[in-house]
Structure 1
Amino acid sequence: MTAKTMVLTGASDGIGRAAARILHGRGERVVLVGRSPDKTEALAKELGADFHVADFARLAQVRALAATLLERYPVIDVLANNAGGIMGSRTVTPDGHEMTFQVNHLAPFLLTTLLLPRLADSRATVINTSSMLNMRARLDLDDLDNERHYSGNRAYADAKLANILFTRELQRRHGASGLTAVSFHPGVVATNFSGGTDSLARFLYHTPLKRLLLTPERGADTLVWLATTPPGAGWEPGGHYEKRRPSRTHPMADDAAAARLLWERSEAMLAH
């Protein structure tokens, strides 16, 4: 069987690193994308894989990444938008957007849309890593940068709901061209999530409480399943999954008008 080309963002640590190792072990061609040059290169050497470095807090790096991927990979079978994180205090990126929203939604939205012709031609699966915290979102489509009512937890929950809305609108717009989109919640996983921030989440992820969390390998299981199982053979396009089963989502996730508006406003934000 011919190996599939699978691009994994957030591959230098945690769920992404675990998924990369598992997929490589299954004979897939894994292309690593990470923020940390040292960690990403180290994993690439371990696996004998290609790697690319991009910081999603800088959209110019996302655009450069997309150009490189288009140049080097004539087929992309899977794009796993796995990079993300919670930021704590409100921070604005050099592009002028709230950091949590940009890293978790705007940057993967930009990467995916720049790759769309290649993804459609490849009949690719786009996998978006969301979170059960989407259920706590209070997403304001008139204030996507959370200028009025910011908290770190709210911004993260909003971005994770945005991942699901993006998944569903991507499927609606481009499913007929051969592309398939799906989102998932990996579970509460022992990773470096929230490291280097002042988010209160660091007390769970960076203290002895961490031992209560899932291993990265268990967290990566649903991602690997979605990447290696054909659409319709266990999961449905546009769906949201946890532990290989359909998972509950925020009521807004079913609002097609909201998904369409988020797409349009994301495009507008990236045009400036």
Structure 2
Amino acid sequence: MHGRTVVVTGASAGVGAAAAAALADLGANVAVVGRSKEKTTEVARRIGGTPYFVDFASLDDVRRLADELDCPRIDVLANNAGLMNRGRQVTRDGHEMTFQVNHLAPFLLTSLLMDRLKAAPDARVISTASAAHAFARLDLDDLGFGERRYRANDAYATSKLANILFTQELARRAQGTSVTASAFHPGPVASEFFRDNSFVTKVLRSPVGRFAITPDEGAKPLVHLATVADAQSVNGAYFTRRGRRTPRRTNPELAARLWEVSERLVGIGDEPNR
């Protein structure tokens, strides 16, 4: 990874911080992106990276981040930031919080950085998804659960399915360019991610929690996808720590329709690969 520029979002803790450290150890120049200035700065200091701050609950902040990223070329964009809200919240942009932070914000960021990705000879967009996608009921007319009953797990699953559909459609749209896309499930990581979910926190602290893995283990698929020799071999693919898997509830038509809806929701109209 020597000489390559890597942007990792959600890198102030957990899987993101572990992946940033691993890629820095391999020689990459890492842009450490996080919401917490204190934690993000500390991770960047520790691994020799550059800290950047963003709040994905604001699409204007995502646009500011894209402007401030001092990277004329990006070799790897790891869309790792995410959350799982206990209750339904609406952002200042008018979107359900979980869906915006987990899908719309990285969708917009990727679009804004596409020229810099295409400037790299072998660029990779890697999205942190989840096995929870298999339980999603994706309703393109009600992505924010304004009409349906809101459940935290359902909203999270919907956003994670969106991550995989985004990956598949980006892989299709970026054909003929140097950009590839892949997604992965990190596994049951014991980290700060579920700090606002009291049920999951209790589970992790119970005897069942012994099956949880470390952030370093959870980051391994991301590092693999960032470093695998043949990026085309994993283009559009979904991985777990056990290797490539076939995601559920996906199809090309749904991926294309979600892309179009996402463009409208974030206020862009051009395909990122144009």
Task: Give yes or no for TM over 0.5.
Answer: yes
What is the deviation of 1:249? 1.3
The CA distance in 2 between the partners of 1:136 and 1:250, in whole Å, is 9
Q: What one-letter code is carried by the residue in structure 2 that aligns with 1:257?
A: E
2:80 pairs, out of 67, 79, 82, with: 82
Preserved CA contact (<8 Å) 2:2 2:26 = no
What is the deviation of 1:246? 1.1
What is the deviation of 1:178? 1.5
Q: How many residues align?
A: 266
SS of the residue corresponding to residue 201 of structure 1 reads: helix
Q: TM-score scaled to structure 1, two decimals?
A: 0.93
What is the deviation of 1:209? 4.8
Q: Which runs of 5+ in 1 are unaligned?
A: none
1:93-242 equivalences under 5 Å are: 93-122=91-120, 123-149=122-148, 150-195=150-195, 197-198=196-197, 200-205=199-204, 209-232=208-231, 235-242=233-240
The CA distance in 1 between the partners of 2:240 and 2:28, in whole Å, is 23
Determine the structure 2 residue equivalent to 1:268: 264
The CA distance in 2 between the partners of 1:11 and 1:127, in whole Å, is 14
SS of the residue corresponding to residue 176 of structure 1 reads: coil
SS of the residue corresponding to residue 51 of structure 1 reads: strand
The verdict on how the C-alpha distance between 1:60 and 1:45 changes in structure 2, with shifts beyond 3 A counting, is same
SS of the residue corresponding to residue 55 of structure 1 reads: coil
For structure 1, which segment, 9-18 or 175-184, has the greater mean C-alpha deviation from structure 2 after superposition? 175-184
Kindly provide the CA deviation profile for residues 116-161 of structure 1, in whole angstroms up to 9, marking residues without a partner as x. 1111121310000000000000011111111122211000000000
SS of the residue corresponding to residue 95 of structure 2 reads: coil
Determine the structure 2 residue equivalent to 1:250: 248
Q: TM-score scaled to structure 2, two decimals?
A: 0.92
SS of the residue corresponding to residue 194 of structure 2 reads: coil
Q: CA RMSD, aligned part only?
A: 1.7
The CA distance in 2 between the partners of 1:232 and 1:113, in whole Å, is 20
Preserved CA contact (<8 Å) 1:166 1:263 = yes
SS of the residue corresponding to residue 164 of structure 1 reads: helix
Q: Which runs of 5+ in 2 are unaligned?
A: 269-274
Preserved CA contact (<8 Å) 1:180 1:231 = no
SS of the residue corresponding to residue 7 of structure 1 reads: strand
The CA distance in 1 between the partners of 2:206 and 2:11, in whole Å, is 23
The CA distance in 2 between the partners of 1:112 and 1:229, in whole Å, is 21
Determine the structure 2 residue equivalent to 1:30: 30
